[in-house]
Amino acid sequence: MLNLENWILDLWIIATASLVAASCAMVGVFLILRRQALMGDAISHSVLLGIVLAYLLAGTNTLWVMLTGAVIIGLLTAWLSESLHKVSRLQSDASIGIVFTLFFSIGVILVSLYTGHIDLDQECVLYGEIAFVPFDTVIWGDMETGTDLGPRAFWLILIVFSLVAFSITLGFERLKTVTFHPSLAVSLGINITFWHYFLMTLVSMTTVASFEAVGAILVVALLIIPASSAYLLASSLKRMLWLAVAYSQGSVWIGYALSYWLDSSIAASIAVSAGALLALTLLVIQIRKWIQQQHYAKQLQSGESA
C-alpha cells in the first residue's frame, strides 16, 4: 500500500537533487570549456573554510551569512591560485591543489575545534545526506501553528538555481565570447577579469547550496560529469547547456532509483549514475564511429570493384 507521506518526502528529495544537479551542470559547462575543472574542485572544498569563519564571526547560520563567507573564500581561492602560478614556477594545477587543500584542511580543523559551537558535521560536509533534507523545514509564522513551506535546502538551492539561470541568460553572449574568443573579448572592451570572477562567484554559491544535499566531494561530480557528457555531443554552447541539464536530471532519476533498489546512499548513487551515463555516451560514440568506418570501407570496396 502506497504511503502518501513517504511519497511527499521522496518528491522533496528528488526536487532538491534535481535543482542541485541542474545548477552544477550549468556552471560546470563553463568550467569544462575554460579548462578549469580543477578550479571547481578547489572551490567546492575551500568554501568550507568560508562557511566556518562566517559562522564563527557572525554567530549565525543564516543563508546570506554563509553565502557571503563562501563566496569570499571561493574568490580568494581563485585569486591566490592564479597569483601563486604567476609569481612562481609552479604549474597551474599545482597552485590550485596547494591553495584548496590548505583552505579545506584549515576548515576541517576549525570544525573539529569548535564542534560544540558549529552546526556542521565533517561527514555531512564531505558526503552530504540528502535523505535528511525533508526534515529541516521552513516554518511560516509561529513554530507550533505556522505553515510548513518545505525543506530549507530546497528553497536555498531554488534561489541559487534562479540566480545562476538568470545570470547565464543575462550574460550569455559575454560569457560565450570570453570563453571561446578571449582575445576578441579584450578587443571589444569586455572585462575578462570581471567575468572570470563572476563565474567563480556562481560556482561558490552553487557549491554552498549543494553542500547539505551531496557534500563537498560529490558536488565535484555534478559540476564536471554532466557537462563532460554534454561536451561529447554538443555542437554549440546553448546545446551543451541543455544537454548538460538533461544529463544531470537523468543522473538524479536513475541514481535515486538505484539507491532505492540497493538501499544505499542517494548522493553517491546519483554520482555513479552520472559516470555511467558518461561511459554509455562514450560507448555509443565509439559504436557510431565504427559503423561509419565500416560503411566507408564498403563504399570504397564497391568503388574499387566497379
Contact criterion met (CB below 8 Å) for 207 and 70 = yes
Say which residue, 126 or 94, is predicted with more confidence.
Answer: 94
Q: What's this model's pTM, rounded to 2 decimal places?
A: 0.84
> Residue 144: phi, psi to the nearest 5?
-90, -35
Per-residue pLDDT reduced to its tens digit, 35-75:
888 887 788 778 788 888 888 888 776 767 877 888 888 88
In whole angstroms, what is the distance from residue 261 CA to residue 268 CA? 13
* Helix residue ranges per DSSP H, the chain: 4-33, 37-58, 63-87, 92-113, 122-127, 152-170, 172-180, 182-187, 192-233, 237-262, 266-305
45's grid cell: 572544498
| Residue 231 CB burial class (10 angstroms; 0-12, 13-18, ≥19) | middle
The rounded Cα 132 to chain-centroid distance in angstroms is 20
In whole angstroms, what is the distance from residue 9 CA to residue 17 CA? 12
CA distance from start to end of the chain: 69
Question: What average pLDDT score do residues 31-35 get?
Answer: 89
34 confidence band (pLDDT: 50, 70, 90): confident
Per-residue pLDDT reduced to its tens digit, 236-295:
999 999 999 999 999 999 999 998 898 888 888 898 999 999 999 999 999 999 998 888
Instruction: For the chain, list the domains and their CATH numbers.
Output: 1-221 (1.10.3470.10)
15's grid cell: 526536487
